[in-house]
Chain A
Amino acid sequence: MARRGRAFWAQLAFTVLVAAFLIVPVAMSITAGVTANFFQGVKSGLTTRWIGEVWRLYRDTIVLSMTIALATLIVDLAVGVPAAYVLARRRGWLTRLVEEALVLPIAIPGLATALALILTYGTWREFRTSWLFILVGHVLFTLPFMVRAVLAVLSSTDLPTLEEGARSLGASFRQRFFDVVLPNVRSGILAGALMVVTLSIGEFNMTWMLHTPLTKTLPVGLADSYASMRLEIGSAYTVMFFFMIIPLLIGIQLAARPRKATVVRDEAA
C-alpha cells in the first residue's frame, strides 16, 4: 500500500465515528445494566441486581420467545423446504407467481399484516388469546427467508441429474427426497434456520399488535420495560437480549462461509 495521504485519515476518522455512533450506545446499555445507579455513574458500584430483577419480572417473555422461535422454525422447515423444492424443480409462470406472492409478507409492514389477522380471526377467542396467534404471524414473516435460503442452494446444485441417478438405481421419491435432496441443501437449511430464529426472537412490529397480556414475547417485554421501568432494568434486559442473539449472529456468519466453498467445488467438479 502506498503512502497514506490526508484522504485516508479523513475517511478513517469518519468511519470510526460511524462505528462509535453504533457501538457507544450498546456499550452504555451494557454498563448501565450492571451499574447500581446509572445516574451517579459506575462509581456507585457494580451489581447483578438488575439482571436478577429482569429474570424475576420477565422470565416468561424469554421462555415464550424461545418457544415461539422454535415452533416457527419447525413449521418453516416442514412447510418451507418442500415448497422450495417444488419451486426449484418446476420453473414456470405459476411458480414464479408463487415466489413473488411468498415475499409479500416481508414487503408489507408487519403492522398491516397484524391488523389483517386481527380483523379476520380476532373474534375467535381461544385462538386470539393463545400464543399460536403470534406463531402464525412469525411464520408468515419468516417463511420467505427459509424458502429463499434453500432455493438459493437448490439452484446452484444440479438436482435433476442427482435425482435421476438415484432413480435409475431404484430409489423411491421418499428416498430421493430424504437421502439425496435434503443432504445437498443442508447448508441452505442451516442458514435459513439461523435467520428464522433470529428474526422470530426480535420481531416486534407485528407481535406488539398480536400479543395479549398473557402472551408477551421478549421484544414486547423490552418495550414494556423501557416505558415503565428504570433505565437500569431496561438496560439489563437489553443485555440479556444481546446475549441471546450474539451466538445466532456468529452462526449466520459462519454458515455463510462453507456455502461459498460448496459452490466453488460444484463448479470445479
Chain B
Amino acid sequence: MLPAAVIFAAFFLLPMARLVAVGAGGPAGLAAYAAVLTEPRYFRSLVSTVALAAAVTGLTLVIATIAGVFLQRNRFPGRSVLVAMLTFPLAFPGVVVGFMVIMLAGRQGLIGDLTRLVTGAKLVFAYSMAGLLTGYLYFSIPRVILTVMAAAEKLDRRLEEAARSLGASPWQVVRDVIVPGLTPAFLSAGAICFATAMGAFGTAFTLATEIEVLPMTIYTEFTLRANFVVAAALSIVLGVITWLALAVARTAAGSSVAAAA
C-alpha cells in the first residue's frame, strides 16, 4: 500500500497542487480562474467544447442504442462479425482516430471521392469541427454499444410482452418500457462519453490545430504562448468538469461502472 501512496502523492497530488497554485499565482491571482468566463476567447472555447461534447454524447447514445439493442435481441448469421467490427476500434488512441477521419473525409478521403462522383464537388470536412465530431463519434460508439448491450441483456422481456398485450404499439414499447429500463446505462455511458469528449486531445491535434476546443486552447497557451498561468487555470477547470461528469456516472450506475476514459 505504501509504495502506491508514495508514488501517488509525489507524482499526482503534489503536481496537482502545484498546478492549482500556478493557476492562482499569476499577476491576476485567483482572477485567472475567472478569466475562463470573462475573456471571450477562452469562454468561446469552453462553450464550443461543452456543445461538442454534448452533441457527441446525444448522437452516440442514439446510434449505439439502436445498434446495441438490435444486436442483443436478434441472432442471425454474421452477428458476431458485426459485434467484432463495432468493438474493434476500442483501443485506438485519439491520434489514430484522427487519421481514420482523414481517411474518410480528408483531402484524399472516401467521402471526397464519392461526392465528386455524384455532385462534381469534393466534400472535405475532416479538418473542422465536423471532422472532430466525426472522430469523437468514431471513438465513443464502440464503448457505448458495449454498455448498452450489457444493459439490454438484463432488461425484463416480460414487461415488454405485458405492454404489447395491453395494446401498446412497438413505438410505445420503445418509449415507455425499453428506454426507461436503459436509463441508468444511458446516464453512466453518457457521462463517460461526455467527459472523454471534453478532455480528448489527440484527435483534435491530428486534424487541425486551429480547432478551438479547450484541450487545444490549453496546449496553445502552454507551448506556443508560454502562458503557464492561463494553461494551468484552464486545465483545472477542465479537470473539474470531467471529474464531475464521471462522479455523476458512478452515482448513476453504482460502483460497478469502470470509468474507461
Contact among A11, A110, A139 for B70, CB-based, below 8 A: A11
Could you say which residues of chain B place their CB within 8 Å of the CB of A223?
95, 202, 205-206
B98 touches A104 (CB 8 A): no
| A19 in contact with B86 given A107-B246, A116-B15, A119-B15 (CB within 8 Å) | yes
Q: What total of chain A residues lie within 8 Å of the partner, measured CB to CB?
A: 76
Binds A, one of B30-38, B117-125, B176-184, B232-240: B232-240
Could you say which residues of chain B place their CB within 8 Å of the CB of A7?
170
Could you say which residues of chain A place their CB within 8 Å of the CB of B141?
18, 21-22
Could you say which residues of chain B place their CB within 8 Å of the CB of A106?
246, 259-261
Binds B, one of A52-60, A77-85, A160-168, A169-177: A77-85
- Chain A's nearest CB lies how many Å from the CB of B127? 12
Could you say which residues of chain A place their CB within 8 Å of the CB of B13?
101
Could you say which residues of chain B place their CB within 8 Å of the CB of A42?
none
Identify which of residues 4-41 in chain B touch chain A, using a CB-to-CB cut-off of 8 Å: 4-5, 7-8, 11-16, 18-19, 22
A269 part of interface (Cβ distance < 8 Å)? no
B100 part of interface (Cβ distance < 8 Å)? yes
In the bound assembly, the distance between CA atoms of A107 and B66 in angstroms comes to: 28
Could you say which residues of chain B place their CB within 8 Å of the CB of A73?
none
Binds A, one of B151-159, B160-168, B192-200: B192-200
In the bound assembly, the distance between CA atoms of A110 and B11 in angstroms comes to: 13
- Chain A's nearest CB lies how many Å from the CB of B59? 11
In the bound assembly, the distance between CA atoms of A198 and B96 in angstroms comes to: 14
Task: Render A205-234 as a binary contact track against B, CB cut-off 8 A, 1 for contact.
Answer: 100110000000001001100110001001
A104 touches B18 (CB 8 A): no
Could you say which residues of chain A place their CB within 8 Å of the CB of B138?
21-22, 25
Q: Which residue in chain A gives the minimum CB-CB distance to B221?
A: A115
Contact among A15, A78, A108 for B67, CB-based, below 8 A: A15
A178 part of interface (Cβ distance < 8 Å)? no
Binds B, one of A43-51, A180-188, A241-249, A258-266: A241-249
Could you say which residues of chain B place their CB within 8 Å of the CB of A111?
199, 201, 215, 218-219, 235, 238
CB<8 Å pairs between A and B, sample of 11: A18-B86, A22-B142, A109-B238, A116-B18, A116-B19, A119-B228, A140-B11, A143-B7, A204-B202, A205-B199, A223-B205
Residues of chain B at the chain A interface (Cβ within 8 Å):
1, 3-5, 7-8, 11-16, 18-19, 22, 63, 66-67, 70-71, 74-76, 82, 85-86, 88-96, 98-104, 108, 110, 137-138, 141-142, 170, 195, 198-202, 205-206, 215, 218-219, 222, 228, 231-232, 235-236, 238-239, 242-243, 246-247, 258-261
Residues of chain A at the chain B interface (Cβ within 8 Å):
1, 7-8, 11-12, 14-16, 18-19, 21-26, 28-29, 32, 38-39, 75, 78-80, 82-83, 86-87, 98, 101-113, 115-117, 119-121, 136, 139-140, 143, 145, 147-148, 198-199, 202-205, 208-209, 219, 222-223, 226-227, 231, 234, 238, 241, 245, 248-249
